[in-house]
A and B are shown apart, each in its own frame.
Chain A
């Protein structure tokens, strides 16, 4: 009986019908008894069948140039290949740490935003999730237009004040 190594060397030729009948019998005999080689043969048979289908499909296109045919085959092979991971060198464990790092970064960002905003209240109150101070509710207009009301004196007399020269301007005009 043939050994596994001898059988596997001949599997492709056997599938493609290129071996003499006696050799084929020996291979069949071995495959019936060896699960590993049998699985290898099945896998090889599927791959060869797929290649033959792809080749037939490509050949059926009229006027196909050789270069275009090669490109078509490459695309067909790439389409059936396993997708390349985004970071092929990344070990599996890093995804867990990566997720933890991302979560940590998101939390840090949230904390920074809260601090910049002036605390959680300054985020929750504008969103309507927390009640604002009573003074703000009672005098919303005051605090909404605060910059204007703060300068009300100037703004009331803006035209007069704007046209008024300062001392240095008066001196320059006189000079």
Chain B
């Protein structure tokens, strides 16, 4: 739960900040980052740290997936997001089984590529 504690603390601190500090502290930052809430920014930074810790080839794999994600249409993205929500709602054992099933499916699909 440390992540949740940190997020809650951030939200409390953000509420204490005067409005201009929250919005205009770094006007040159990309719009997306500025649009995120403190909690979302925290999660984003955590994900960045996780990504930085990955080995080089794993990082490259994620970056390729990101390129594919960027090329997807909004409908495709919506569909993927819905699947992600379904995946998130599954119990941990079931998620592991999905991963196993995917590995099996990939092995079967590979020769046809």
Within 8 A of A (CB), among B28-59: 29-30, 32-34, 36, 38-51
How many residues belonging to B are interface residues under a CB distance threshold of 8 Å?
Answer: 55
Q: Is the interface of A mostly helix, strand, loop or mixed?
A: helix
Residues of B within 8 A of A128 (CB): 17, 21-23, 25-26, 34, 38
The yes or no answer to A144 lying at the interface (CB within 8 A) is yes
A156 neighbours in B (Cβ, 8 Å): 80, 83
Chain A nearest CB from B106 CB (Å) reads: 8
Asked whether, in the complex, the Cβ of B5 is within 8 Å of the Cβ of A132, the reply is no
Count residues on chain A whose CB falls below 8 Å from chain B CBs: 46
CB distance from B26 to the nearest CB of A (A): 6
- A126 within 8 A of partner (CB): yes
Residue of A nearest to B70 (CB): A141
Are B87 and A126 in contact, CB atoms less than 8 angstroms apart? no
Complex Cα spacing A133 to B44, Å: 11
Report the minimal beta-carbon distance from B96 to chain A, rounded to whole angstroms: 11
Residue of A nearest to B11 (CB): A126
Q: Point out residues on A near B: beta carbons under 8 Å.
A: 113, 116-118, 121-123, 125-129, 131-133, 135-162, 164, 166-167
Interface residues in chain B, defined as those with a beta carbon under 8 Å from any beta carbon in chain A = 2, 5-6, 9-10, 13-14, 17, 21-23, 25-26, 29-30, 32-34, 36, 38-51, 62-63, 65-66, 68-70, 80-81, 83-84, 86-87, 97-102, 104-106
* 22 A-B contact pairs sorted by A residue (CB < 8 Å): A116-B5, A122-B6, A127-B22, A127-B38, A128-B38, A136-B48, A137-B33, A140-B44, A142-B63, A143-B48, A144-B44, A146-B44, A146-B50, A146-B62, A149-B65, A150-B62, A158-B86, A159-B83, A164-B105, A166-B97, A166-B104, A167-B104
